Amino acid sequence: MHSLRRPWLTALACLGLLCAAVFSYVSHGQEQGLRIGSKRFTESYILAEVMAQTASPQSPTPPTVRQGLGNTAIVYEALRSGGIDLYAEYTGTIALEILKGSQSMTREAMNAALAPLGLGVAIPLGFNDGYALAMRAADADRLGVRSLSDLANHPELKLGLSNEFIGRADGWQGLAARYGFRQTPTGLDHGLAYDAIAAKQIDVIDIYTTDAKIDHLGLRVLQDDRSYFPRYDAVVLYRLDVPTRWPKAWAALQKLEGRIDERAMIAMNARAELQGVAFDVIARDFLAQQGQAGVHAGSSGAAARGFVAKLLGPDLGRLARQHLTLVAVSVGVAVLIAVPVGILVFPHLRLRAVVLGLTGLLQTIPSLALLAVLISLMGAIGTLPALVALTLYALLPIMRNTVTGLAEVPAGLRQAGTALGMTGAQSLRVVMLPLALPTLLAGVRTATTIAIGTATIAAFIGAGGFGERIVTGLALNDRELLLAGAVPAAVLALLSEALFETIEFVMRRRRG
């Protein structure tokens, strides 16, 4: 047993270093600049840029924009835990989804309920972006469907609703109960739903009333004749310490009150979704126009870019560095933990089964769920929770292959080492590990491939990497931008395979 203490101590040391990094990051990660978040849909991206550019001239350091942080649960958790300082939210969502209150909840009541959490609601931006259901206008005219009550009389129509809407307290379940819907909706990403309804794969989708594609695709917004949906007035949900930490920036943000109406918001959304203009450019043009709707589309000189321009864009180097860092660090830490633990549990069959079972259980946790839990536990978003999640996912293949490689060492060779007078540690180092190395390396290879693919999910919590393009492409329903994120990730996976092939070739040459 003495021969196994060193691997065990090494594993404990690595875990200690990882924990130290966590606490160091959390304590040091409270950036000096204002941190503004957004959800993963076009309007939220734009509003985050509008707020950042409004606050920037009055901030000692430029605000940090954490774009595309996922659905309400993730971005709200990022705010509550201190990962961001504010973001644009909607009164109906705050009342019904976050506070679990009533549809008639006033802003004063919201602030009273949020105050114990260190949060507040302020700066109504001037527009209502409500939920609604929409269908193709030609089908609505043919079937005589003008309201949600009419829709309930046509159970043959296929509903494709966003996953968030299906699960929200103010979403599908309450709506179905109010109107007596009998359909079972299909869950779709909000951006992809527009393609699906245009291709007649589904008949009805949920929409935001400021979506630019409603008129563009000829959709009919169905009347909410039983007044199920509340108003969703855009406001700023913020941490209560923001006005004291950044008083000048907060004063600048307050000037946005009432400056964005529905027409202006629809126009900005249209520039992003229909013309491919960048979010920061849209925000800059809006602010330059002093909040007037109908911004001139050519004012920025930013035309829609082709696939090659998106693929080789100026952010390619930054995203590649972020993605490589996520993969290299997570797999490296996983090796430092999994190999010693695999060596430790190898002689003990029951302990081995328990440890491998627990690490295997980690693989069953959905990525976004694990990231949301880590955000809550660490009080941080971005790189750190992403690294921890990727490390946890990489443990199983490395640990399993370590144990398998050691088990494949012939008993005769183990006994030969003992016969030569080697200690257990010497036999492990000189005989068993070198023979187990090819199998162990195969585990690292598998873990690396998994990490490259899973790292794209890290963009949902602001960790960057090629997933940043994929997340934005989903929000804009931009296939070229999606591919501009997926292709480099695939190339990185192929390069990693070539690297491991080279390493294995060199190892075979040396053994030969």
**In the prediction, which pLDDT does 414 show?**
66
Digit-coded pLDDT (tens) for 169-213 = 788 999 999 999 998 999 988 878 998 999 999 999 999 999 999
Q: List beta partners, residue 160.
A: 186, 205
The tokens of 374 are what? 């880590």
Asked, colleague to colleague, whether 2-22+314-511 and 131-221 share their fold, the answer is no
Look at the domain 131-221 and name its fold: D-Maltodextrin-Binding Protein; domain 2 (3.40.190)
| CB 81, CB 376: distance < 8 Å | yes
Digit-coded pLDDT (tens) for 431-483 = 788 888 999 999 999 999 999 999 998 888 888 899 989 988 887 778 888 99
**In the prediction, which pLDDT does 2 show?**
43
Digit-coded pLDDT (tens) for 266-322 = 999 999 988 888 899 999 999 998 543 333 333 333 345 688 888 988 889 999 999
Digit-coded pLDDT (tens) for 373-408 = 888 788 777 889 999 999 999 999 999 999 999 888
CATH code: domain 2-22+314-511 is: 1.10.3720.10
Q: Which of 65, 478, 47 is nearest to 265 (CA)?
A: 47
Q: pTM, whole model, 2 decimals?
A: 0.76
- Arithmetic mean of pLDDT, 235-240: 98
What are phi and psi for residue 346, nearest 5 degrees? -55, -45
- Eight-state DSSP code of residue 126: S
Residue-level length of the chain? 512
Cα dihedral 372, 378, 381, 385, rounded to 10, equals -70
Pick left, alpha or beta for residue 205 (phi over 0 → left; psi -120 to 50 → alpha; otherwise beta). beta
- Eight-state DSSP code of residue 147: B
Domain chopping of the chain, boundaries:
2-22+314-511, 32-126+232-303, 131-221
What are phi and psi for residue 126, nearest 5 degrees? 115, 5
Look at the domain 32-126+232-303 and name its fold: D-Maltodextrin-Binding Protein; domain 2 (3.40.190)
